[in-house]
């Protein structure tokens, strides 16, 4: 899927993280990549995260998947919405929807959620902490947008859904297949299906909260610390009032904390691993049979490209002029020399092909073999 009529530079300058934007069918040729039946099938699978939202006159109820197949036959005439998370990990044509958005860094991209709604179905007025592109896949949906919300914004008391207590509509549009609406974090929005068979694809992004960053960075530091690294004051001098915690002691204690927390190189390495950890780390994508280096080289040089697992996360950090750290699915690989352009290609493209004349070094094939045996690369994803 490619854009025909969308200027990413103007979008980043004027809209990204700033204000909503309606983009009428920007695609070369829009086609809906998944059928409603296929989506319902995914919601019945154990490994897939899904929710079914049913509506009564003014309330919303959420059920969590996996849903029994019979559940869809039991739905009555009241509006309902099925939401399935990370469909890009299961359907290649849905994963392809992310490609035109690669002007945004890999580490900011989360998943493609797909929704199906019956006539008048929707999840209710709410806001999200993340940027989202809402692409209308099939049918029509009326989107309304409101003002900026935050954690103080009053919500309806509801166990599962963060529904807004008040929603003042600022703008509204009816989206047709291929139309796209960008909503920045915090902006109130409400999508309601107009007619039947309404499917919406949400390209969702992520951005760590300060709370999450500090918590996880500190947990990581704590896991490596020992009890013998302690406050010491061999230079202690008698002080007039034993009750005073001296400025000198505070400086020393504060430094014990800040010098650990502020190590930028260690932080960078940790953040690369943290942010490349898969969304569902418990899912085992490893191949049934590990591949041998020689065999991988043969298959690759015979012209078969290695494909990135759509569930895998690839990023890199330039550590110095001659080293780059490649992060894949929570692991890091230190790359030098000819490994640097290989790591860059792995992060920039979703496949790696090698032409017959190009010789891959042993180190390069060994890295590709390791990534293959970890389930981050394959010759064939479904």
Positions that interact with ligand SIN (CB under 6 A): 81, 115, 122-123, 128, 132, 189, 191, 200, 202
Residue 145 beta carbon to ligand SIN: minimum distance, rounded to whole angstroms = 10
Residue 348 beta carbon to Co ion: minimum distance, rounded to whole angstroms = 29
Which of 89/202 has CB closer to ligand SIN?
202
Residue 55 beta carbon to Co ion: minimum distance, rounded to whole angstroms = 16
Tell me which of ligand SIN, Co ion, none is bound by residue 200, counting a contact when its beta carbon lies within the kind-specific cut-off of 5 to 8 angstroms.
ligand SIN
Which of 53/343 has CB closer to ligand SIN?
53
Which of 187/354 has CB closer to ligand SIN?
187
Which of 189/374 has CB closer to Co ion?
189
The size of the interface with Co ion (CB under 5 A), counted in residues, is: 1
Tell me which of Co ion, ligand SIN, none is bound by residue 36, counting a contact when its beta carbon lies within the kind-specific cut-off of 5 to 8 angstroms.
none
Residue 1 beta carbon to Co ion: minimum distance, rounded to whole angstroms = 22
Residue 239 beta carbon to Co ion: minimum distance, rounded to whole angstroms = 58
115-154: contacts with Co ion (CB under 5 A): 128
Per-residue H/E/C for the chain: CCECCCCHHHHHHHCCCCCCEEECCCECCCCCCCCHHHHHHHHCCCCCCEEEEEECCCCEEEEECCCCHHHHHHCCCCCEEEEECCHHHCCHHHHHHHHHHCCCCHHHEEEEEEEEECCCCCCCCECCCCCEEEEEEEEEEEEEEEEECCCCCCECCCCCCCEECCCCCCEEEEECCCCEEEECCCEEEEEEEEEEEEEEEEEEECCCCHHHHHHHHHHHHHHCCCCCCCCCCCCCCCCCCCCCCCHHHHHHHHHHHHHHHCCHHHHHHHHHHHHCCCCCCCCCCCCCCCCCHHHHHHHHHCCCCEEECCCCCEEEEEEECCEEEEEECCEEEEECCCHHHHHHHHHHCCEECCCCCCCCCHHHHHHHHHHHHCCCEECCCC
Tell me which of Co ion, ligand SIN, none is bound by residue 329, counting a contact when its beta carbon lies within the kind-specific cut-off of 5 to 8 angstroms.
none
Which of 97/354 has CB closer to ligand SIN?
97
- Read off φ and ψ for residue 98, nearest 5 degrees: -75, -30
Tell me which of ligand SIN, Co ion, none is bound by residue 51, counting a contact when its beta carbon lies within the kind-specific cut-off of 5 to 8 angstroms.
none
Tell me which of Co ion, ligand SIN, none is bound by residue 191, counting a contact when its beta carbon lies within the kind-specific cut-off of 5 to 8 angstroms.
ligand SIN
Residue 200 beta carbon to ligand SIN: minimum distance, rounded to whole angstroms = 4
Cα–Cα dist 178/29, whole Å: 8
Tell me which of Co ion, ligand SIN, none is bound by residue 123, counting a contact when its beta carbon lies within the kind-specific cut-off of 5 to 8 angstroms.
ligand SIN
Residue 135 beta carbon to ligand SIN: minimum distance, rounded to whole angstroms = 10
Residue 273 beta carbon to Co ion: minimum distance, rounded to whole angstroms = 29
Which of 189/269 has CB closer to ligand SIN?
189
Using the Cα atoms of residue 298, residue 95, residue 111 and residue 350 in order, give the sign of their dihedral: positive
Measured at CB, which residue is nearest to ligand SIN? Answer: 115
Tell me which of Co ion, ligand SIN, none is bound by residue 136, counting a contact when its beta carbon lies within the kind-specific cut-off of 5 to 8 angstroms.
none
Which of 3/130 has CB closer to ligand SIN?
130
Q: What residues make contact with Co ion under the rule CB under 5 A?
A: 128
């Amino acid at each position: 899927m490619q854009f025909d009529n969308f200027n990413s530079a103007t979008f980043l300058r004027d809209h990204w993280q700033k204000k909503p934007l309606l983009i009428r069918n920007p695609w070369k040729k829009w086609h809906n990549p998944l059928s409603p039946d296929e989506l319902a099938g995914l919601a019945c699978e154990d490994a897939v995260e899904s929710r079914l939202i049913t509506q009564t006159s003014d309330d919303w109820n959420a059920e969590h998947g996996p849903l029994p197949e019979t559940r869809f036959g039991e739905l009555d005439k009241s509006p309902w919405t099925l939401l399935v998370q990370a469909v890009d990990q299961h359907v290649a044509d849905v994963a392809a929807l992310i490609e035109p958005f690669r002007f945004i860094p890999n580490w900011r991209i989360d998943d493609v959620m797909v929704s199906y709604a019956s006539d008048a179905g929707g999840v209710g007025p709410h806001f999200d902490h993340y940027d989202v592109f809402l692409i209308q896949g099939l049918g029509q949906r009326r989107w309304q947008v409101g003002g900026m919300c935050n954690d103080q914004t009053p919500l309806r008391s509801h166990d599962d859904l963060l529904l807004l207590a008040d929603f003042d509509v600022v703008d509204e549009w009816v989206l047709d297949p291929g139309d796209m609406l960008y909503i920045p974090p915090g902006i109130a929005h409400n999508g309601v299906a107009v007619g039947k068979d309404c499917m919406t694809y949400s390209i969702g992004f992520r951005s760590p909260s300060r709370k999450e960053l500090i918590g996880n960075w500190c947990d990581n530091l704590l896991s490596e610390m020992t009890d013998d690294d302690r406050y010491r004051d061999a230079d202690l001098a008698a002080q007039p009032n034993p009750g005073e915690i001296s400025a000198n002691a505070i400086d020393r204690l504060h430094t014990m904390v800040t010098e650990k927390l502020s190590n930028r190189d260690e932080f960078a390495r940790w953040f690369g691993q943290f942010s490349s950890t898969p969304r569902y780390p418990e899912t085992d994508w490893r191949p049934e049979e590990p591949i041998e280096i020689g065999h991988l080289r043969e298959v690759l040089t015979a012209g078969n490209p290695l494909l990135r697992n759509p569930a895998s996360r690839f990023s890199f950090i330039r550590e110095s002029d001659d080293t780059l750290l490649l992060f894949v699915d929570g692991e890091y690989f230190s790359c030098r020399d000819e490994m640097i352009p290989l790591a860059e290609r792995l992060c920039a493209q979703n496949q790696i092909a090698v032409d017959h004349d190009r010789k891959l070094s042993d180190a390069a094939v060994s890295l590709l073999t390791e990534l293959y045996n970890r389930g981050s690369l394959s010759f064939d994803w479904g």
